[in-house]
């Protein structure tokens, strides 16, 4: 896994081509249905090609329908991917929540403390929380970049058990790239009991949580951080506050 956008760009291109293919393939399905119910409606190959040409020209002349179709396809794909893991994804490790723990709107973020894009997204997340008191952000620690980001994730989950997850989350990202010094400094800054935290960091429950997060990410096809779940939408990358806000609004409509 990595946090670059090339994989996401390729996926978007493939989705776009898929949408066009689905639209054109739908014509074939329509003909097949009509021929079955009314054989007289079966058109010649030439007529079929002519209609396909009309549809192609319409798509080229009205390209704005492609993003709409892509969004619908992405939602359907997201719902399918989430069907077996939604409950696990939206159920936080105890205390590993930003915003309102009892919020009625849930956003899931897969995050890595060594990820620069995740650090950029802290500002976006805080802006969302400031505007939406009903928002609960479930953070799934996904330390894929380094051993030190894994240690920072373990400390974050240990801080969660002490009721200090959000404070540590923000302090750790503000401290820069994780290393033993910055991890300890962030923990001390927010009042984490280091003795208890170090014991928790080596526990089976925290290792199990990190393993579970990796498996959920794999099943959803996430190959980098940050990645997000909003309703039926799966979103990859630091997409910004406006895109996240729109996704949240769409999930409520």
Three-state SS for 70-122 is HHHHHHHHHHHHHCCCHHHHHCCCCCCEEECCCCCEEEEEEECCCCHHHHHHH
Output the average pLDDT for the chain.
84
Tell me: pLDDT of 22 over 70: no
Model confidence pTM above 0.85: no
Q: Is the dihedral of CA 117, 9, 64, 69 positive or negative?
A: negative
How far is Cα 230 from Cα 56, in angstroms, rounded to an integer?
A: 33
Task: With a cut of 50, say whether residue 4 has pLDDT above it.
Answer: no
Average pLDDT of the residues in 72-89: 74
Q: How far apart are CA 198 and CA 9, in angstroms?
A: 40
Parse the chain into domains and list their residue ranges.
Answer: 6-81, 87-252
CATH no., domain 87-252: 3.40.30.10
Question: Quick one: average pLDDT of 80-107?
Answer: 93
pLDDT at 118 (0 to 100): 97
More confident residue, 44 or 209: 209
Q: Please give the Cα distance from 99 to 207 (Å, whole number).
A: 25
Tokens in use for 178? 């994780």
More confident residue, 85 or 70: 85
pLDDT at residue 129 greater than cutoff 50: yes
Whether 157 has a pLDDT exceeding 60, the answer reads yes
pLDDT higher than threshold 60 for residue 73: no
The pLDDT assigned to 48 comes to: 73
């Amino acid at each position: 896994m990595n946090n670059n956008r090339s994989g996401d760009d390729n996926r978007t291109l493939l989705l776009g081509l898929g949408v066009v293919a689905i639209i054109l393939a739908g014509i074939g399905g329509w003909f097949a249905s009509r021929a079955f119910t009314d054989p007289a409606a079966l058109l010649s190959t030439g007529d079929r090609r002519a209609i396909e040409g009309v549809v192609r020209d319409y798509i080229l002349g009205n390209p704005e329908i492609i993003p709409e179709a892509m969004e619908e396809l992405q939602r359907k794909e997201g719902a399918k991917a989430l069907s077996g893991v939604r409950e696990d994804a939206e159920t936080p490790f105890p205390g590993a929540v930003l915003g309102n723990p009892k919020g009625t709107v849930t956003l899931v973020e897969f995050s890595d403390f060594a990820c620069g894009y995740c650090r950029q997204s802290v500002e976006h997340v805080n802006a969302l929380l400031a505007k939406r008191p009903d928002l609960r952000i479930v953070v799934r620690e996904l330390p894929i970049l380094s051993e030190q980001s894994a240690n920072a994730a373990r400390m974050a989950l240990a801080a969660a058990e002490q009721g200090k997850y959000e404070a540590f989350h923000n302090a750790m990202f503000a401290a820069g790239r994780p290393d033993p010094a910055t991890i300890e400094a962030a923990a001390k800054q927010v009042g984490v009991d280091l003795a208890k935290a170090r014991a928790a960091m080596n526990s089976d429950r925290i290792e199990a949580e990190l393993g579970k997060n990796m498996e959920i990410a794999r099943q959803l096809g996430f190959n980098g951080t940050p990645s997000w779940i909003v309703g039926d939408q799966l979103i990859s990358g630091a997409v910004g506050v406006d895109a996240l806000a729109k996704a949240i609004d769409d999930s409520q409509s």
